[in-house]
Amino acid sequence: MSIENNTCAICSKEKVLNGQFCEHHNIAYHKIEGNYGYWKEAYEELSWEAYLKLTIDNPENGVWVKEVAKYLITKKSEDLNV
């Protein structure tokens, strides 16, 4: 039997139902996802990873957005290593 971790993958807050993040990081995650299409069109060739890196570096982006982007990059590289 496994114990399910009920906290956000980034902070210690409770995560939302059927999600991996808390309420605020979840909002940020959906905004990152929702804006990818716009960025891809703007730069033509833009991979998801490159987009996440640009998201982290852009000073206009919110702190939760950057935390989620960092997490997604780290998770991706961990997944690849596994």
17 three-state secondary structure: coil
Contact between 41 and another protein by CB under 8 A: the answer reads yes
Rg of the chain over all Cα atoms, to the nearest angstrom:
14
Nearer to another protein, 60 or 78 (CB): 60
Nearer to another protein, 41 or 79 (CB): 41
Contacts of 49 (CB under 8 A, 6+ apart): 73, 76
Give contact residues for another protein (rule: CB under 8 A): 24, 27-28, 31-32, 34-35, 38-39, 41-44, 55, 58, 60-65
